Amino acid sequence: MKNYLHLKRGVDLLHDPLLNKGTAFTAAEREQLGLRGLLSPRITTMHEQLDRVLESFRRKTSDLEKYIYLVSLQERNETLFYRVVTENLGEMMPIIYTPTVGLACQKWGHFFRRSRGLYISTEDRGQITRILGNWPHPDIRMIVVTDGERILGLGDLGANGMGIPLGKLSLYTACAGLHPAQCLPIMLDVGTDTESLLADPLYIGLPNHRLRGPAYDEFLEEFVTSVQMFFPKACLQFEDFGNANAFSLLQRYRDRICTFNDDIQGTAAVTLAGLASSLRLTGGRLADRKFLFLGAGEAGIGIGHLIVEALKSEGVAEETARRQCWFVDSKGLVVRGRTDLVEHKKPFAHEHRAVSTLLESVEALKPAALIGVSGTTGGFTQPVVEAMARLNPRPVIFALSNPTSKAECTAEQAYAWSAGRAIFASGSPFAPVTLGGTTHVPGQGNNAYIFPGVGLGVVASGSTRVTDEMFFVAAKTLAGLVTDADLALGRIYPDLARIREVSLAIAVAVAEVAYARGLAREARPESVAGLVQSYVYQPVYADYV
């Protein structure tokens, strides 16, 4: 940072969000860095700045206004932004990420003021390496990239989906402490097939239909190769790609570069952790349970594969483990006799008669856990939840689709329809529910419990790959951090206030895997925990003189 600082003075320094301290610049700094007269004369502390920010933030009358306000703060003073977020994470996370980020993406072109991150479009083919060189920070360790085709449960938002990489990387810093100068959000603008965006004069992307087929694959190959050349130590996270591309990209590159897909692997880990925690309330073993999914896309199939790995670790044969995971898609139960199944569903297509509805599937299979990853609002109807409650003393109901508007059911519905017996988790936050004098605190199966810690562990160890084993140990670590006090509230995840503690523990576990499997670039240090801690950014102002 010091080498970076010596190039900045005066207005240039104030316009750099990584270095700007606003009114907190000291008298000596103002004198030596050419800031006198460019700031109001009163010097304020960071604590006073925090008070001002929170007062303004809490005066906003809508979540979108709050989002825009925080984005504006991040654009001018990242240190203050991250201090505000880390000290008020429970209040801020639903604004900077799901559910509000979904609404922000939908309206992105209508409040767009300043480009952040890199936009690489199909018009840049043959020039991607040169474009990566325009980024001002050379030591990039974490890249989140999307092509905007499947933004949360909202569908194809094209270039408007840039809000997702920006939000994810904000959580990498806030939740795990990755330095913001080492994080790079990228939007691959390959067009959009959403006609309303193509007709919108304020849409920020290319007004073209999506690039597909071999031309798309060639574009992605150039992008991945260029990233490897220009940022050789970076981990590349694929985010919110459409199902077909998400699975194929992960399979194509996972053994070639340091990469993962959070929608597939991160969601799987946080769900497995929740299922493991729920066993402390229901009793029994994972191997005794049957799991039914509504939705057979990236998230659902990813969860299924990780559950299989967990069951295998308990001594269950792989084929038996697969038969404990069942899926319902838009055409009914996924069974072997169907001829319309895409490749990623086939490992979970079992012998069974055709079943057309979720309710029929529940009655036929009698699952212990119902997991919603469909993006279908209200997919868990009252009869479905009541059937789960009739079949199980403590039915596990996970409505994981994001944002909140896409959840398969609400927390209130899950508790009311199960007479308060449901063990409930959701992807986006729900408020506590009081029923019959008992207050139930819903768990939030948010990937933010997983991916920041995984990323920090990969970066700290210099791992050259991200493996399924890393997500497995991340899930085990997360489940182990759930306290008896959490469970007494019905919450199967730790309090979000502990997210940095959680992320550091996961990072250490992930780094240990990297060292044990020979994936780290350097030898294992005496203290892995100490190494991980040394990478953690703290949002405090530096002394510049």
What is the torsional sign of CA 162, 62, 88, 415? negative
How far apart are alpha carbons 472 and 497 in whole angstroms?
Answer: 23
Question: How is residue 287 annotated by DSSP?
Answer: G
Residue type, 11: V
CA-based nearest residue to 371, from 379, 441, 363: 379
How far apart are alpha carbons 42 and 542 in whole angstroms?
Answer: 19
Beta sheet of 443-444, edge-to-edge order? 332-333, 325-329, 291-294, 369-372, 396-399, 423-426, 443-444
Residue type, 355: V
Task: Given the residues 8, 66, 67, 97, select the one marked as catalytic.
Answer: 97
Maximum CA pair distance of the chain?
Answer: 79
Distances from the Cα of 126 to the Cα of 213, 222, 225, 227, 465, angstroms: 18, 8, 11, 13, 27
How far apart are alpha carbons 341 and 335 in whole angstroms?
Answer: 9
Burial 217-240 (b: 16+ CB within 10 A, else e): eebbebbbebbeebbeebbbbbbb
Residue that the structure tokens 């080492």 belong to: 182
Question: How is residue 158 annotated by DSSP?
Answer: G
Q: What is the 3-state secondary structure (H, E, C) of 80-126?
A: HHHHHHHHCHHHHHHHHCCCHHHHHHHCHHHHCCCCCCEEEEHHHCC
Residue that the structure tokens 């009869």 belong to: 383
Residue 430, both tokens: 């729900």
Catalytic status, residue 97: yes
Residue 284 zone, left/alpha/beta (φ > 0; ψ -120 to 50; rest): left
Task: Given the residues 8, 21, 66, 168, select the one marked as catalytic.
Answer: 168
How far apart are alpha carbons 264 and 391 in whole angstroms?
Answer: 29
Residue 67 zone, left/alpha/beta (φ > 0; ψ -120 to 50; rest): alpha
What is the torsional sign of CA 371, 377, 381, 385? positive
Residue type, 449: Y
CA atoms within 13 A on the CB side of 217: 10
How far apart are alpha carbons 130 and 123 in whole angstroms?
Answer: 13
Catalytic residues: 97, 168
